[in-house]
Chain A
Amino acid sequence: QKEVEQNSGPLSVPEGAIASLNCTYSDRGSQSFFWYRQYSGKSPELIMFIYSNGDKEDGRFTAQLNKASQYVSLLIRDSQPSDSATYLCAVYTFGNEKLTFGTGTRLTIIP
């Protein structure tokens, strides 16, 4: 079982709709969870981080964490064509001293 798993996609969402990206992780001791966006040919850019169970909202983005289910998600409301990118989920586990990344979900927003 991979440490961090994401559906590779591609995920196609109409412009203006909600895009839902999911990530599961295997280590119950994981403490910090991050979502990065990566445009083709560019480096990953941090979108959000979440540490506690529940929802965290930042503009059009909402991160959701459920530690009991070992599940973290990212919702993008009012999707825009500029949101088309690969979204990487990353998990930090205290003691490992490293971020472990999923392979990413490629999101395409259809105008």
Chain B
Amino acid sequence: KAGVTQTPRYLIKTRGQQVTLSCSPISGHRSVSWYQQTPGQGLQFLFEYFSETQRNKGNFPGRFSGRQFSNSRSEMNVSTLELGDSALYLCASSLVEGQGRETQYFGPGTRLLVL
């Protein structure tokens, strides 16, 4: 079974631009979560989508948004990029089993550099 895929793998943008990242979950997985990872802050939760609905959201400004499609693929968008948005953006998918027993599998990440 193919793993989680993310595109693009690397991205360079300038301040003020916007960016869209894509994530394809493991086949059959319905939940997609997004994380931002930086050396100083570690892994921080952005949001989670399940069946095209945002189920939870982390403490990030409204410039960060996402969506999920009917095939469970997900995109996240960051508008008006700032230097501090430079990070590794990770997508994780899980097969929702209920009872809080969700095992998340990570994609390779998209490394975003904002200049």
Contact = CB atoms under 8 A, between A and B. Distances in A.
A42 B108 CA distance: 7
A62 interface: no
Contact of A32 (B100, B106, B107): B100
Interface in B6-42: 33, 35, 42
Given A43-B90, A44-B106, A99-B33, A31 B56 contact: no
B64 interface: no
B104 A99 contact: yes
A58 interface: no
A101 B35 CA distance: 10
B42 A92 contact: no
Interface string A20-62: 0000000000011010100000111110010100000000000
Interface string B73-111: 000000000000000101010000001111111111100
Nearest to B41: A103
Interface string A77-108: 00000000000101011101111111110000
Contact of B101 (A32, A88, A102): A32
A31 B100 contact: yes
B63 interface: no
Contacts of B100: 31-32, 92-94
A32 B100 CA distance: 7
